Structure 1
């Protein structure tokens, strides 16, 4: 049986392209959906309603209506949800148990503010039994995962350290030495790979497909590309 996982950053709650983004997200037909830059406002409520209409259970941390966070949606239901680390702002790392798998939805802050969140994942995710880390990590390495002329990442060593802790960068494992980006700077038009699915070794072995969907970015629905992965038991 196949399990589809999808993630998309909808840019400040998706207000400017709400209906198009809702259609895009539903079109992924994902079993597990991680939406970053979700906002708990009227647009967010409509999106949750649309997801509920087709059988999704949803979870997100309690945040202000103008704060960006993570929404996790699961077609098979969510058994429980929790903050990854109570000492950190929960809107950046939110977890859910879905059919026995523990998923952490990730929306990293900018600049040096993201470093404590990376450290938390590196030190605690694998011992805490997190199976999947999915979302906008706002960091990558300075070799294949940014345009050569693009600004250098802060914390470029962090993805490698997370991999050393026991996780697989699913997209990269299937696209060795490939340059493909999920966000482009304005101005400059330099590409960066910011959106990831990291999986523990057991789940990583089940991945058969992981590709970017550039359509939501190129059509202007949002400023990120989507990422879709498929696992087979």
Structure 2
């Protein structure tokens, strides 16, 4: 069933991916605008300030009287990008609808959310999006230094779907674990079991994984300390 959205508003934050964002905007004339070449879309792992400036430039050249759509989709949003997007939301170009697709609206600043119609995902939609994210989270986790892994653990723990995000990350990380030493594989299995406990401490579990996961090629200097931790 199609979700109802306000007939007139210039800013939307949609929990989900680019396709769900398009679905939400369809009743507002997205299809006809696309046929007129009045839709500007970009999808990225991280929304940067440069990408927001590109969107602002594209909106500036909107033909007078035509409806224009700026659609951005990202898994993460930089702090400067949020400030730039906030400015764009506060001074929107004429006849332009701006939409941002993100895994969770809680990734956005409260001030940015206050300028937008926030379209929340259902529980099932959020879980599906989170598990698709798992591969990206696992890749970030694997390639990171130990300090970056600890920061990622904190980032995951702050999410409103923290348990699902942590589980998705560790399950995808488990695909790499087949090549790990046995003690590291056992440690990862223990972490997944702890996630299933009542009220799991997500931050502590992910920090544990940050310490026990074998070092990536970019962080080989910490390899010896991790071996001692799980031995």
State if a TM-score over 0.5 links the two structures.
no
Write 1 or 2 for the structure with the bigger share of helix: 2
Q: Shorter-chain TM-score: which interval? A: under 0.3
Structure with the higher fraction of residues in strand conformation: 1
- What TM-score do the two structures reach when normalised by structure 1? 0.26
